[in-house]
Amino acid sequence: MITIRGDMLEGGGQILRLSTALATLIGEPIRIVRVRGKRRPPGLRRQHMTALKVLASLCNGQVEGLRLGSTEVFFKPGDIRGGSYRFDVGTAGSVSLILQAAMPVMVFAPAPVRLRLRGGTNNPMAPPVDYLERVLLEDLRLMGVEALLRVYRRGFYPRGGGEVEVQTQPSRRLKPIMLQELGRILEVRGLVYSCRLPSHIADRMASSASERLRRIGLNPVFEKEVLQPGNPKCSLDPGCGILLSIKHSHGFLGVDNLGVKGKRAEVVGSEAAEQLIKLVEGGYPVDRHLCDQLIVWMALADGVSRIKTIELTLHALTCIELTKTILKAELKIEGDLGRPAVIECRGIGYEK
C-alpha cells in the first residue's frame, strides 16, 4: 500500500487528487494522511470529495474517510471502466481541478467515457475550463489523447452551478511531448466572456488586450461570449474573464484573467496581455498552468519528454514528487522554484 503525506510541498488538494488518480492507474491501494495539511481549515472540502467519488466510480473503487473535514483517506481502486457519469460539486468548487484528476484515468479506460460535472467553471484559484479546452487538450492531442470538452453553462462564485461535459476515447499508449522552444507563432486567439453584465465589459477587455498585443506585432482574433438571463449557458451569478492563447509550430500555450468587482475591464484585459507578452518575449512554450498539468502525462508517456516553462511552481514540484514516488518515473529539473526551468521526464510507457 502507498502512503502519501498531504502536507508535503504544496500541501493542498492537488496531492489528494493526483495521488489517488495515479494509484487508480497502477491499481494500488493508497492512504493519504494529513489531507490538505497546509490549508486552513485542513481536510476534505466538497470539491475534493467529488473528485474522490468520480475516481471511485471510474474504477469501482472503495473510499474510506469520505466526509467533510476528514484529514485521512484510504482509497482502494478496482478495474477502470468506461461509461457515463454525472456529479455535482454542490458549490463553486472548480470542475477543472476535478478533471485534472479524472482525465488520465478516463483516457485509459477500455471504453469511451462521458463525464458531466456541475460546479465552478471559472474560479480564481484554478485554470478555467476554457483553458483546458483551448490549451491543455490541444497539447494532449499531440501526445495521442482523444478528448472533447463542452461547456453547457458557466459557473462563478459563490453559487457555481456551471455544467461541463468531457468525452474521452481509449488510448493505448501516449507519445512524449517536446516543448523546448516557442515555435513560429501561427495563431493568436482570444476569448472574452461575461454573464449578467453589460456587453461593453467584454468589449473593453478585448480592446485593451488587443491594443497591448498589437504593439509587439501580435494580432489576436477574438471571440466574444456575452450571456444574459434566458440564455441556457448563462451563469447563476455575474462574472467575466479573458483567455488568450497561442498556437505555434510546436504546440499551444495560454494565459487567463478573471474579472474582479472593482477592477476595470481594461485592466483585466491588459494584465492578460502582459502575461502573454512575457511568454513570447522570453521564448517560453509552457506557461505556469501548463507546466504542472503536463507532468502527469509526461510521466505516463512512452519515451522522453522535455518542456521549458516560464516559472517552476510549487504545484509543479508537487506533481514531480508524486509521479516519481507513485509511478517511478524519472524526472530531472534544470532551474529553481519561482524561476524559469526545463523539466525532462522519461515516461513509464503506461498502457492498460
Can you give the pLDDT at residue 227? 98
Can you give the pLDDT at residue 52? 98
Can you give the pLDDT at residue 148? 98
Mean pLDDT value across residues 107-133: 97
pLDDT tier for residue 352 given thresholds of 50, 70 and 90: confident
Can you give the pLDDT at residue 152? 98
Q: Which of 48, 248, 289, 315 is catalytic?
A: 315
Mean pLDDT for the chain?
97
Identify whether 315 is a catalytic site residue. Answer: yes
Please determine, for residue 54, whether its predicted confidence score (pLDDT) is greater than 90: yes
Can you give the pLDDT at residue 125? 87
Give the tens place of pLDDT for each residue, 144-163: 999 999 999 999 999 999 99
What span, in angstroms and rounded, lies between the C-alpha atoms of 21 and 59?
A: 10
Give the tens place of pLDDT for each residue, 218-271: 999 999 999 999 999 999 999 999 999 999 999 999 999 999 999 999 999 999
Q: Report the predicted TM-score, pTM, of the whole model to 2 decimal places.
A: 0.95
Can you give the pLDDT at residue 156? 97
Give the tens place of pLDDT for each residue, 165-207: 999 999 989 999 999 999 999 999 999 999 999 999 999 999 9
What span, in angstroms and rounded, lies between the C-alpha atoms of 314 and 295?
A: 13
Please determine, for residue 113, whether its predicted confidence score (pLDDT) is greater than 90: yes
Residues with Cβ within 8 Å of residue 118, at least 6 apart in sequence: 86, 87, 88, 89, 95, 155, 160, 161, 162, 163
Taking a C-beta distance cutoff of 8 angstroms, is the pair 44, 73 a contact? yes
Taking a C-beta distance cutoff of 8 angstroms, is the pair 295, 343 a contact? yes
pLDDT tier for residue 139 given thresholds of 50, 70 and 90: very high
Mean pLDDT value across residues 87-95: 95
Mean pLDDT value across residues 269-290: 97
pLDDT tier for residue 37 given thresholds of 50, 70 and 90: very high
What span, in angstroms and rounded, lies between the C-alpha atoms of 279 and 241?
A: 20
Mean pLDDT value across residues 94-113: 97
Can you give the pLDDT at residue 32? 98
What span, in angstroms and rounded, lies between the C-alpha atoms of 195 and 228?
A: 6
